[in-house]
Amino acid sequence: MAHMMTNNAVKPVAHIKLSSRAQSAKALRVKPAKGAKSFKCATVAGSFMEGTEQAPPDPILGVSDAFKASTSPDKLNLGVGAYRTEELQPYVLEVVKKAEAIMMEKAENKEYLPIDGLPAFKKCTAELLLGADSSIIAENKIATLQSLSGTGSLRIGAAYINAWLPGKTVYLSNPTWGNHKNIFADAGVEWKMYRYFDPETVGLDFAGMMEDIKGAPDGSIIVLHGCAHNPTGVDPTKEQWEEIASLCQEKGHLPFFDVAYQGFASGSLEEDAFAPRMFAEKGLEFLCSQSYSKNLGLYGERVGAINAVVNDAAVATRVASQMKRQARAMYSNPPVHGARIVSEVVGDEDMFNEWKAEMEMMSGRIKSVRGKLYDYLCEKMPEKDWSFVTRQIGMFSFTGLTPAQVENMTNKWEVYMTKDGRISLAGLSAAKAEYLADAIVDSIKNA
């Protein structure tokens, strides 16, 4: 299924093309002669940047751009995974507004955070992941760095892998979030894919997944979505997770969890952390990136963490020191605003409970809108099995639409979504559910 491979990798640009202007001056960037170390460049007439190719728009973030450009009153943005209210407005959590008001009162300074971030944030993020009573935390067997949301945390992890597990391959689910490939590639780490999504059942190809994880060389890195798999919404069951953990243990693999939706998938922080917590109980070492973009609505503040669960506290200290080195050369220290918000919220019992309630509300709205969409789809095209709509979990639904069908969705129906057939339910209102059902049915039948 070629279209499953969400390809937003930038076309590799190995050489800047020479314009005739540059050629008549001096060569801009010719492949140097063997042994030559010098780099010729255009003189006054030419430009260093001449011939730089336009990069393609990001396949996910580019959808929002296209949506903004459209003037149609019917347009619907089901591209990027950002939560919207029933009125299709962005949502700042009440508890976040409270936290910001408290922060304004406190009038704290804006000094640099340590390289590894706000200490209060690091403590609460580790506890959210593993549970406040985790023995791993008590025994200091975890290295935690505050980092730039999910992306930044993954990148630190990837850079760390490149430095300390050179030659190892990272295995990504097929399909996966489009940016995973770029993150590992830019960090110099080779990636391959393991089977994951079964278009026949519109569910998990568990046998294929296990076979591919087993077939990977011992000690490979396996990227796992902690919950609410992006883009498919298909998660392993608890029993399947246990089997995956055992297999990773057997093969000496290093799991790398991407936890971007804790609390957002089922509505429960504890439920959604089942997989990493169970791996930790079993004694596996693993890496884990966390993001507070969705569950606390802190998208633009870039708050997250990279964690390394390690079986020795002294080692954990050294791992942290090396991750700090990576961070220092990328951004020095992480942004303070979002981290303070998280610690305010989690550090106060009432606010923490309020947060949990708002998370339940957000995931509840998504479940409800899934239900409505499912009902309309069954009504309009009863011959197809639409059960995947309510079986899939989290923000996204993998519709199975082909690129041609997706084009129809956009061109005819002004529904903006990614080419891999992924729709963000977070961007759907109950009021537009029927319209979307019409669009999907039309695209399947006629495109």
Partner 1 sequence: MASFWAKVPQAPKDPILGITEKFLADEDPCKMNLGVGAYRTDQGKPVVLDCVREAEKRIAGNFNMEYLPIGGLKEFNDLSVKLAYGDECAAIAEARVASIQTLSGTGSCRLMADFMHKFAPDATVYIPSPTWANHHNIWRDANVAQTSFRYYKPSTRGLDFEGMIEDIQTAPSGSFFLLHACAHNPTGVDPTSEQWSEISAVMKEKGHFPFFDMAYQGFASGDCVHDARAIRIFLDDGHQLGCSQSYAKNMGLYGQRVGCFSIVCSDSEEASAVESQMKAIARPMYSNPPVYGARIVTTVLGDEELKELWYKEVKGMADRIIHMRTLLRENLEGIGSSLPWNHVTDQIGMFCFSGLTPEQVDELANDHHIYMTRNGRISMAGVTSGTVGRLAEAMHKVTSG
Which positions from 312 through 351 interact with partner 1, judged by CB under 8 A?
A: 312, 315, 317-319, 321-322, 324-326, 328-338
Structure tokens at 83: 């939560």
Is 50 within 8 Å of 42 (Cβ atoms)? yes
Residue 113 lies near partner 1 (rule: CB under 8 A): yes
Residue 88 lies near partner 1 (rule: CB under 8 A): no
One residue of 235, 258, 272, 301 binding partner 1 per CB under 8 A: 301
One residue of 4, 6, 18, 29 binding partner 1 per CB under 8 A: 29
Q: Is residue 294 helix, strand or coil? A: coil
Q: Which residue in 116, 235, 258, 272 is the catalytic one?
A: 258
DSSP designation for 197: E
One residue of 23, 74, 88, 101 binding partner 1 per CB under 8 A: 101
Residue 96 lies near partner 1 (rule: CB under 8 A): yes
Contacts to partner 1 from residues 206-245, by CB under 8 A = 219
Q: Which residue in 141, 181, 294, 372 is the catalytic one?
A: 294
Q: Measure CA 16 to chain center.
A: 32
Q: How far apart are CA 210 and CA 187, in angstroms?
A: 27
Under rule CB under 8 A, how many of the chain's residues touch partner 1? 95
Residue 355 lies near partner 1 (rule: CB under 8 A): no
One residue of 142, 172, 260, 310 binding partner 1 per CB under 8 A: 310
Is 165 within 8 Å of 333 (Cβ atoms)? no
- Least distance in Å: CB of 6 to partner 1? 13
Residue type, position 330, single letter: M
Q: Measure CA 240 to chain center.
A: 22
One residue of 213, 223, 248, 308 binding partner 1 per CB under 8 A: 308
One residue of 236, 267, 297, 400 binding partner 1 per CB under 8 A: 297
Spatial CA neighbour of 424 closest among 261, 275, 181, 287: 261
Contacts to partner 1 from residues 140-179, by CB under 8 A = 148-152, 155, 159, 164-165, 179
- Beta bridge partners, 259, equal 290
The number of helix segments (H) and strand segments (E) in the chain equals 17, 13
Which CB, 114 or 215, lies closer to partner 1?
A: 114
Contacts to partner 1 from residues 5-24, by CB under 8 A = 10, 13, 16
Quick note: the x/- pattern for partner 1 over 246-285, rule CB under 8 A, is --------x----------------------------x-x
Known catalytic membership, residue 177: yes
Residue type, position 133, single letter: D
One residue of 4, 6, 18, 42 binding partner 1 per CB under 8 A: 42
Distance between start and end Cα atoms, the chain: 18
> Other CB atoms closer than 10 Å to residue 198's CB: what's the count?
17
Unique residue bearing structure tokens 């339910």: 425
Q: Which residue in 177, 191, 241, 386 is the catalytic one?
A: 177
Q: How far apart are CA 379 and CA 402, in angstroms?
A: 22
- Sign for the CA dihedral angle at 49, 50, 53, 57 comes to positive
Spatial CA neighbour of 389 closest among 362, 423, 361: 423
- Least distance in Å: CB of 341 to partner 1? 9
- Least distance in Å: CB of 237 to partner 1? 27
Residue 97 lies near partner 1 (rule: CB under 8 A): yes
Active site residues: 177, 258, 294
